[in-house]
Amino acid sequence: MIGTIINTIAIIVGSALGSILKKGIKEEYQTALFTAMGFAAVALGANAVVQNMPNSSYPVLFIASLAIGGLVGTIINLDAKFNNLVNRYSKSDLGKGLSTAILLFCIGTLSILGPVESALYDNHTYLFTNATLDLVTSMALAATYGFGIAIAALVLLIWQSSIYLSAQYIEPFLTGALMTEVSIVGGILILSSGLSILGVKDSKTLNMLPSLFIPVIWFIILALF
């Protein structure tokens, strides 16, 4: 699990460096960084959608995923529960930044396939690459929201460890077609998170998080029949 450990450490180090930078930055510059992170999330989300949409075998699946997943998440009210938990320990707008960080760090090809490659083939390239990207991203996020972004490292550790330990069972299901559909939905969630940061539309992105599981369920059903 060396790749996952390095990835986790990278986020913690990036968060620490970013929080140090935050202390020496004027409020107006922090606002500029806040805006920049919003646009960056929008761009990354849109790019994931644009790249994967042409390769989709089920063009309507992402719509069904968002509708069903969003309904389930709203019933559970994930967004409110998450923000209430975060606000107990932080008076800042950490909730939005942390939800964006979790999506950016965990929902991506490198973060999902990386632990599988590491477990089955002892290939840590994906995770080392992901760690480098997450180091830079966590620095930028922490410079805006503070060291609380490091909490995302724990989520990533649990996420990637779970994939690593179950790699031999889930590897046959992680086809290119499935990753395409998950990437489309994940891209939309990241884009939505960016819009929330910018104050354009608070879509309560975490309520749509169950949407990511709908493509998985769909492909399991196809495999069974």
Centre a 10 Å sphere on the Cβ of residue 73 and count the other Cβ atoms it contains. 19
Query: Which letter does DSSP use for residue 5 in this model?
Result: H
Residue 93 has pLDDT above 90, yes or no: no
Q: Do residues 149 and 21 lie in contact, with contact meaning Cβ atoms separated by under 8 Å?
A: no
Q: Residue ranges per domain, the chain?
A: 2-224
Using CA atoms, how far apart are residues 216 and 47, in angstroms rounded to an integer? Answer: 22
* Mean pLDDT to the nearest integer, 46-75: 93
According to the per-residue pLDDT averaged within each range, which of 109-118, 148-157, 188-197, 215-224 is highest? 148-157
Model confidence at 120, in pLDDT bands (50, 70, 90)?
A: confident
Planar angle of CA 102, 167, 131, nearest 5 degrees: 40
| Average pLDDT taken over every residue of the chain | 88
* Mean pLDDT to the nearest integer, 207-211: 90
Q: Do residues 161 and 5 lie in contact, with contact meaning Cβ atoms separated by under 8 Å?
A: no
Which residue in 79, 76, 139 sits closest to 105, CA to CA? 139
Q: What was the pLDDT predicted at 184?
A: 92
Query: Which letter does DSSP use for residue 108 in this model?
Result: S
Residue 30 has pLDDT above 80, yes or no: no
Instruction: Please tell me the least confidently modeled range out of 55-59, 76-80, 91-95, 158-162.
Output: 91-95
Residues 169-200 pLDDT 10s: 888 888 889 989 988 998 898 898 888 878 88
* Mean pLDDT to the nearest integer, 38-42: 86
To the question of pTM greater than 0.85 for the whole model, the response is no
Kindly write down the DSSP assignment for every residue of 150-184, as one continuous string: GHHHHHHHHHHHHHHHTHHHHGGG--HHHHHHHHH
Q: What was the pLDDT predicted at 181?
A: 92
Residues 98-117 pLDDT 10s: 888 998 899 877 898 889 88
Higher pLDDT, 70 or 37: 70
* Mean pLDDT to the nearest integer, 127-143: 90
